[in-house]
Structure 1
Amino acid sequence: MGDIKHDETNFYSNAEDYWREIPATVDGMLGGYGSISSIDINGSKTFLKKFLGEGEGKTGTSCALDCGAGIGRITKRLLLPLFTTVDLVDVTQEFLDKAKSYLGEEAKRVGHYFCSGLQDFVPEAGRYDVIWIQWVIGHLTDSHLVEFLRRCQKAIKPNGLIIIKDNVSYEGVVPDEVDSSVCRDLAIVRSLVATAGLRIIHEEQQVDFPKEIYQVHTLALR
């Protein structure tokens, strides 16, 4: 079994190497698909707004966490307009540095910039209303994803939500050698969520994305 540890180390270090070479731009964050950013954000906003607000069972809007935040594309256009404070976590320091200027005047409402891979990141207990995890679960091994989701569960407030938005494959696990990630099918993602002790309270497919890219699904978890 010695190889697995070695392979796991490479899996993470190769991804870090990949992102280190990517330009700190929206197009870089989206692998050349910068044009889909608005469709993505609008879909996410419609999804998220179903849960936010005052009253029984509603999710608050004081603090959100953007996981795999990059330069803060989602923070800027989705989270900061809806939440009082947003924290960012990303493995690439250069992206977080760029976020400070990219977010502009609103950067003053960022609580923390954490430079860490999610496999090592421990979010503060009870801090977040929403933890947003987009286009990054493929960079975690199954066991690290389950462990991270368990840590997220401790980090959300009583009516808080964990949201995963990501590519799903048609069947099985499809490796991407280029950025050292994997794409899992929906059944696998659901089973990992269940293993983490979370339940899916709502699930949708993102519409109007280019036909040639993977389907993207959004899952709200508690």
Structure 2
Amino acid sequence: MATTDDVHTQSDLNPASSEHANNLGNSLPTTDSQISHSQQISYWDAQTADVDGMLGGYPQVSRIDLQGSKNFIAKVRRLTRISHETNSSPSSTTKPSSASGKDSANPTPPKTNTKLNRVLEGGAGIGRITTGLLLNIAQTVDVVEPLKKFTDVLAQYRPTAEQGRIGQIFNSGLESWNPAPDCRYDIIWNQWCLNHLTDKQVVEYLQRTSKTLTGYKPDSNSEKDNETLGWIMVKENLSTDDWGEDIFDDADSSVTRSDRKWKALFEEAGLKIIKMELQSGFPKSLYPVKMYALRPK
């Protein structure tokens, strides 16, 4: 189960639940093994279906959060387009693969001011990020969210939905969601939701969704031919444990992971980091929040 959003203060989480404490003896469970999806459902079902409920009583950070995410996406799109254009510069021996001079098998990334085709918000909650950011940069947004009472809020955007801008709504937890094999996304946005999955579930989810990125060709054995043009983006709280370990929150049954742990999980999932950046402008009482843009290796 994974529901966004969840802003934690540094006093919310119990340092005694860190992996460092667990490593002092074999009698205590590992941090992520304490995760209970049924407890998560109970916690989120008790929250109000509005921005205040989604952000744990910190609705004032929403505007800063959305602006930070918007800026990050723009930087990633600009960076990867420059990289693509540099790597695709034709040499004197290169011939175009079509009459138009374009290689249809290896599409060019859209310009940074062009709307993306289709994106996904994982653990979408009431669609705060969908309506506040993703619909501004994409033609269509699909959402994954286990609680129907949250996705029902999207009904107020009926004109947008009827235009096909709000696409499929999957009422499912991320740990059990299986995207259709032919589905392709330009961005898969995951914010304050992967902390509700175990380490193993995070890796498996990232592996599944990486196969739905634009440009992915399941039958190709060529790394070059299988180069994706889409991104998986992760935005999560970071642990400030003195030992750099993960911290368990028994209130919503989630894990606040260290930067080191996130990078290890991305590596295990076969993903490379294209860009990463800390969110700025949040109150100092909140945990640091980091954004990662990922692509398959």
- Give the number of the structure whose residues are more often helix, by fraction: 1
Q: CA deviation at 1:106?
A: 2.3
| Structure 2 CA distance for aligned equivalents of residues 124 and 133 of structure 1 | 18
| Structure 2 CA distance for aligned equivalents of residues 189 and 203 of structure 1 | 12
Asked if structure 1 preserves the Cα contact closer than 8 Å seen for 2:35 and 2:196, the reply is no
Q: Which amino acid aligns with 1:107?
A: A
Corresponding residue for 1:51?
Answer: 76
Task: Select 1:144's aligned residue among 195, 201, 204.
Answer: 201
TM-score, normalised to structure 2's length? 0.69
Instruction: Give 5+ residue unaligned stretches, structure 2.
Output: 1-28, 86-107, 216-228
Asked if structure 1 preserves the Cα contact closer than 8 Å seen for 2:120 and 2:189, the reply is yes
Asked if structure 2 preserves the Cα contact closer than 8 Å seen for 1:146 and 1:196, the reply is yes
| Structure 2 CA distance for aligned equivalents of residues 82 and 13 of structure 1 | 34
Instruction: Give 5+ residue unaligned stretches, structure 1.
Output: none
Cα deviation 1:100-125 (Å, max 9, x = unaligned):
21x35323311101000100011233
Corresponding residue for 2:231?
Answer: 161
**Count of residue pairs brought into register by the alignment:** 217
| Structure 2 CA distance for aligned equivalents of residues 26 and 155 of structure 1 | 29
The residue correspondences of 1:47-196 to structure 2 (distance < 5 A) are 47-52=72-77, 56=85, 58=109, 61-101=116-156, 103=157, 105-108=159-162, 109-125=165-181, 126-158=183-215, 159-170=229-240, 171-196=244-269
Q: CA deviation at 1:9?
A: 9.3
Cα deviation 1:178-218 (Å, max 9, x = unaligned):
11111000000000000000001100000010101110000
Q: Which amino acid aligns with 2:185?
A: Y
Q: Which amino acid aligns with 1:106?
A: T
- Give the number of the structure whose residues are more often strand, by fraction: 1
| Structure 2 CA distance for aligned equivalents of residues 179 and 99 of structure 1 | 24
Structure 1 pair 86/184, CA: closer, same or farther in 2 (3 Å)? Answer: same
Identity %: 42
- Taking only aligned residues, the RMSD between alpha carbons, in angstroms, comes to 2.1
| Structure 1 CA distance for aligned equivalents of residues 35 and 127 of structure 2 | 26
Say which one has the larger Rg. Answer: 2
Task: Select 1:204's aligned residue among 277, 286, 296.
Answer: 277
| Structure 2 CA distance for aligned equivalents of residues 64 and 9 of structure 1 | 32
